[in-house]
Structure 1
Amino acid sequence: MSVDAAAVAARGGFRLPENRKVRAGLALLSLFVLLALLGPFVVEDVFGMSATAIDTSASMQPPSSAHLLGTTATGEDVLAQLVVGSRISLLVGLTAAVISTTLSVLVGVAGGYLGGRPDALLTVVTNVSLVIPSLPLLVIVASYVKGRGGWLTVALIIGLTSWPWGARGKRAQTLSLRRRDFVLAAEMTGESRWWIITRELIPTLAPLISASFLGAVVLSMFADAGLAFMGLGNINLTSWGSMLYWAQNASALPRGAWWWFVPPGACIALVGLAAGLVNFGIDEIANPRLRRANRDIRRAAKAAAKRAHRENS
């Protein structure tokens, strides 16, 4: 997203309800948030289902009226695990995204605006962090703290190892903004640097920050699922990642137990789809060029459909 597009969005171009992609993405994200907030209560307290109750007599049963999404190798209800696990997975994704986005905003925006030695120091820190491969670092740190913490530990590890790329992008945008008229006007009126960063630059960069936050949520959930799948997360906590780990450990795929690993994988993919729709919608809202391009594409498609209808009739 360009700086001009971000500035337009921050100055009144944001009309989320009018964009179909944003509405669809937000609706899907809201559905998963409600599932994480209310789902465990409904499943466990209202319907009396348990995500951890073992019933060896109901091992590896396919979906049925008794178990809508089937059972695991130890007879645990997959639907209950899916609903209960949504809370941990979303908590990890949101918490890690908040940490990484906050760090990237502080380092990137502050360094890009302040310049001089602070920018040089923050740039060195960012570049050093970028040189270190994030995935091996994530695996090493997760292996070291394995079994010593809950979901918050996993979120901290992911958040603290995934901020550098976002910081570099925000610094580049801030370098383009810091000589704009509205920033210079704030400096001439005697506003402090912190005031300019928090009241002028960050609001102008809001579309970029929101897009990077949504991307960080999805990447953090993927990272959490990957760590759990490798057995490096807390596999005793019910989450979508731990479901995939136990399904792989019990050879669910060779045994044809698709109902065990497909639902958590599909949920992770749907969260990614929802975040992607919101990101695409934000780009269209903030960037007039994209709005015009999509409008022209729709008009061309309608015209082609009308011509084809006339030719067929």
Structure 2
Amino acid sequence: MNELVAESRRRIRRRAIKDFLGKLSERRGAWVGVAALTFFLVLAAVPGSLVGPLESVATASGDFLAPPDGQHLLGTDEAGRDVLNLVVHGSRISLTIALISTVISLILGTTVGITSGYFGGKIDTWMMRMTDFFFIVPPFVLALVIAPVFVEVVGRGREILGFRTSLFVILVVIGLTSWSFVARIIRSQTLSLRERPFVDRARVAGSSDASIMLRHILPNLVPQIAANGALVVAGAIYTETALSFIGLGDPLQPSWGTLLSLAQRAGAASAGAWWYLGSPGVCVLTVALGFVLLGNALDDTFNPRRRVIP
């Protein structure tokens, strides 16, 4: 009997996944987003296999700000390094920072949102006032203020989880300052879910508040978390790029923002080195657009009120 029930649940789950993928595939934006993100995720996964090790000033293979040619498809920088090599290696740093900071943001936002919406009362009021502060103040402004302080506290030149101090600080700061949007959405959904019959049955059965939130409410929030998570990644990429551009990045582990900063300092714009500025800039815009398109497609698929003919 238990095996039949388990098999029935597996069939229902497979059917639900199939229906979801079918509806998602109807969104042209989803295909564009997935294609763009797949391309850059491959670059970030195996940069060394595609363009060799990260070039340094000592191993530079070109001339000063040389335009694209057969040997250097995206030209060279002010030190003669291949820009294609730098951009491909920079994709790993930029995407890793954006994805990990998004995970931190989703964990914080989901925790605050569920707790606030489920308990209500003074807990809800206090948490929402805190959320309002982070919601009103732009994440970039908060990150700009907090990041230098964190760098001094943690110390320069160290490596934490494979990141040098400045990059690790950017990662943490973005995660700690971009969760308010998620918290508000999760809270609004939790306010509705806590009144559902299955939550009342769980209370009658003696389930604790923590068990109800984790086992009954959280699974129903996964679609919203996934849809909004894709949008948070796009914002995280922009914030990381901006922070690295103003000098908080690490030239030894260059991200796309760091490359833009180096190009600006080298006078690439005045020298007409469009390839140096354009290459990382196009990458940032393409990846951010890919996540936005995918996030909108997921939201349209999960939210019946937004389902329109693609």
Q: TM-score, normalised by structure 2?
A: 0.82
1:31 and 2:39 aligned: yes
Which range moved further: 140-149 or 63-72? 140-149
> Which portions of structure 1, spanning 4 or more consecutive aligned residues, are displaced by more than 6 angstroms?
none
Which range moved further: 59-68 or 280-289? 280-289
Equivalent residue number for residue 294 of structure 1: 309
**Contact 2:234–2:289 (CA under 8 A) maintained in structure 1:** no
1:66 to 57, 65, 71: 71
Matched AA of 2:268: A
Equivalent residue number for residue 157 of structure 1: 173
Equivalent residue number for residue 279 of structure 1: 295
Matched AA of 2:95: L
2:270 to 254, 262, 266: 254
Aligned residue-pair number: 282
Which range moved further: 276-285 or 220-229? 276-285
Distance 1:87 1:124 in 2: 36
Equivalent residue number for residue 139 of structure 1: 144
Matched AA of 1:40: G
Which range moved further: 182-191 or 258-267? 182-191
**Contact 1:60–1:73 (CA under 8 A) maintained in structure 2:** yes
Equivalent residue number for residue 168 of structure 1: 184
**Contact 1:16–1:22 (CA under 8 A) maintained in structure 2:** no
Matches within 5 A, 1:4-153: 12=16, 15-18=20-23, 19=25, 20=27, 21-44=29-52, 50=55, 52-53=57-58, 55=60, 58-130=63-135, 132-146=137-151, 148=156, 149-153=165-169
**Contact 2:61–2:82 (CA under 8 A) maintained in structure 1:** no
Distance 1:41 1:269 in 2: 24
Matched AA of 2:141: P
Matched AA of 1:41: S
**Contact 2:56–2:81 (CA under 8 A) maintained in structure 1:** yes
Deviation at 1:66, TM superposition (A): 1.0
Matched AA of 1:144: V
Deviation at 1:160, TM superposition (A): 0.8
Measured at CA, do residues 276 and 142 of structure 1 come closer, stay the same or move farther in structure 2, by a change above 3 Å?
same
1:265 to 262, 269, 281: 281
Equivalent residue number for residue 309 of structure 1: none
Deviation at 1:178, TM superposition (A): 1.2
Which range moved further: 254-263 or 80-89? 254-263
Matched AA of 1:91: T
Q: Whose relative contact order is higher, 1 or 2, with alpha carbons under 8 Å and at least 6 apart?
A: 1
Which range moved further: 16-25 or 266-275? 16-25
Deviation at 1:54, TM superposition (A): 5.3
| CA RMSD in angstroms, aligned pairs only | 2.5
Deviation at 1:91, TM superposition (A): 0.8
Equivalent residue number for residue 302 of structure 1: none
Which range moved further: 155-164 or 115-124? 115-124
**Contact 2:243–2:249 (CA under 8 A) maintained in structure 1:** yes
**Contact 1:26–1:274 (CA under 8 A) maintained in structure 2:** yes
Equivalent residue number for residue 261 of structure 2: 245
Equivalent residue number for residue 310 of structure 1: none
Distance 1:290 1:166 in 2: 19
Measured at CA, do residues 40 and 145 of structure 1 come closer, stay the same or move farther in structure 2, by a change above 3 Å?
farther
